[in-house]
Structure 1
Amino acid sequence: MSRQISQGEGLAVEIHTSTNLQKLFRKTLVTGGTQDVKKPYTWIPTFLTGQSFWLISTPMAQSLEIIKTNVVYETGELFELGIQLSYLLLLLGFLGIGTFFVIRQVLVRRELDLSAKELQEQVRSGDASATELFELGAVMLRRKIYPAATKYLVQAIEKWDGDDQDLAQVYNALGVSYVRDGKLAKGITMFETAVKLQPGYVTAWNNLGDAYEQKKDFKSALNAFEEVLLFDPNNKVAQPRRDTLKEQVKLYRDVPVKTKER
């Protein structure tokens, strides 16, 4: 029994002691004693949490910087690639346009050669009409063979039996051939004949004005371009040339005009 009492007292004591410890612990929670006990234990987890956050946040920040750098680098690459593609497309466009004009010139040249061959055969046979001689002269003019063009156009004029207004086109073509062959005076004569045969022939008037301007006869050139604007007020060739020549005529009004012949 005593052992039991002893054990019971012991349990009582332990309970009592535990109760006192609990009271003491509760008491220290209210008084300043708990702060001395609790400070180390609350600061250490906070410190560890801060360290962990710092250890985690630093690599994250570095990763974000790397991601930003990669994004900027990739954006720059895409922009540079876009510029290169634009230049490539532009180059291909120019090459395509150049190829188109080259092919077109080749086809036109071939067509002119075939036309010239057919017309020359008719001329050799002696059956060529004035119109066919004019066409052959025009073909030679486009091929820039000016002596041959002049030859066939003169023959067309000598053999002409059609309307005078149509004949004006032959004289105009002959004037172009003379001017391009360096025979400016003869070219002017042909253009003047063309506009006499057909007074409203705007192309011949423009050619006449250009020929006079090459001769430095600015007043006559101005008169020719003004004639063009009487028949075609919105002519894009004559308008700027007329305005420029007006200023030149004012400048040289009191100065004698010097031609190449003088």
Structure 2
Amino acid sequence: MVGNGKRQILREELSMEGLTSKNLQKFFENLLVTGLIKVMKRPYVPVSAFLVGQSLWLISTPMAQSRDIIKTNVVYETGELFELGIQLSYLLLLLAFLGIGTFFVIRQVLVRRELDLSAKELQEQVRSGDADATELFELGAVMLRRKIYPAAIKYLVQAIEKWDGDDQDLAQVYNALGVSYIREGKLAKGITQFETAVKLQPGYVTAWNNLGDAYEKRKDFKAALNAFEEVLLFDPNNKVAIPRRDTLKEQVKMYRDVPVKTKER
């Protein structure tokens, strides 16, 4: 009756706590203690204890291995998720670049089409003889944006010859003509147009920037520095003139410190 009672208690422990490695160890420890109590009654106790220990080792070893396998699987799955996240990030970044590139391509196509339509309409007016100075200026500006510089120069010169409006507006025509000459590689003529533009409109910041850039291309660093300083008088926060002014200051100072070699007599 006592043995049956102990076995009933052990069955209740297993059913309440679940079949875990700790419970199994506790279970076999109880069996081992029970067997030791009966050491005087049974002659084969050492063999039973050995069998109990062997059984406990056989059960606990696979459980430990299973825990190691679970840990390894968790680490592996975490690494896969991290790698998947990186791949998704690269994919999204690529899609963003493709979207931006597509936007700019479509925008360029639309701008080009609009310029072509404007040029066609304005050229028809010029051929009919009905184009005034403003329309000639617009056609010259369209040709400049289309990078057809000889045609731009032609129509801008015609616009200046027919101009009967305000001198400050005429300064824009001279500035566009100066850009056309510069793009054609005619630096001296371009500088002349920019100089005329700033004379007609002293606060014309764009023309001053263009003039400073043209002087710098001609290696006239002091004149270029003066042009960018003029820009900053009218626009102190001009993002084009500030870095150019600072760079030219260093260049002017460097050339000022270089001794001039005189010809030997």
Provide the TM-score with structure 2 as the length reference. Answer: 0.80
Unaligned runs of 5+ in 1: 1-33, 258-262
Give the structure with higher Rg (CA). 1
Sort the Cα spacing of 1:153 and 1:36 in 2 relative to 1 into closer, same or farther, 3 A.
Answer: closer
Distance 1:177 1:41, change over 3 A: same
- Corresponding position of 1:61: 64
How many residues align? The count is 224
- Which residue, 52, 55, 62 being the options, matches 2:55? 52
How far apart are residue 38 of structure 1 and its match? Answer: 5.4
Q: Answer yes or no: is 1:196 the counterpart of 2:199.
A: yes
Distance 1:256 1:182 in 2: 32
Distance 2:45 2:239 in 1: 94
Q: Equivalent of 2:78, from 55, 75, 79?
A: 75
Q: Note closer, same or farther for the CA distance 1:182–1:39 as it changes in structure 2 (3 Å cut).
A: farther
RMSD: 1.9
1:169 and 1:91 map into 2 onto residues whose CA distance is 42
Q: Could you tell me the percent identity over the aligned residues?
A: 89
1:154 aligned residue: 157
- In the alignment, is residue 108 of structure 1 matched against residue 111 of structure 2? yes
User: Structure 2: how far apart are the matches of 1:116 and 1:104?
Assistant: 18
Q: Which residue of 2 aligns with 1:130?
A: 133
CA distance in 1, matches of 2:81, 2:123: 62
Q: CA deviation at 1:256?
A: 9.0
CA deviations 1:70-120 (Å, max 9, x no partner) are 111111111111111111111111111000000000000000000000000
4+ runs of 1 displaced by more than 6 Å?
none
> Could you give the per-residue CA deviations for residues 112-157 of structure 1, whole angstroms, max 9, x where no partner exists?
0000000000000000010000000000000000000000000000
Question: Which of 93, 98, 103 is the aligned partner of 1:95?
Answer: 98
Matched, 1:174 2:193: no
C-alpha separation in 1, matches of 2:223 and 2:72: 73
What residue ranges of structure 2 are gaps of 5+ in the alignment? 1-36, 261-265
Match of 2:246 among 240, 243, 246: 243
1:174-196 per-residue CA deviation (whole Å, 9 max, x = no partner) reads 00000011000000000000000
TM-score (norm 1): 0.81
Q: CA deviation at 1:50?
A: 2.1
Task: Give me the whole-angstrom Cα distance separating, in 2, the residues matched to 1:146 and 1:97.
Answer: 30
Deviation at 1:47, TM superposition (A): 3.1
Task: Go from structure 1 to structure 2 and tell me whether the alpha carbon gap of 1:150 and 1:37 turns closer, same or farther (over 3 Å shift).
Answer: same
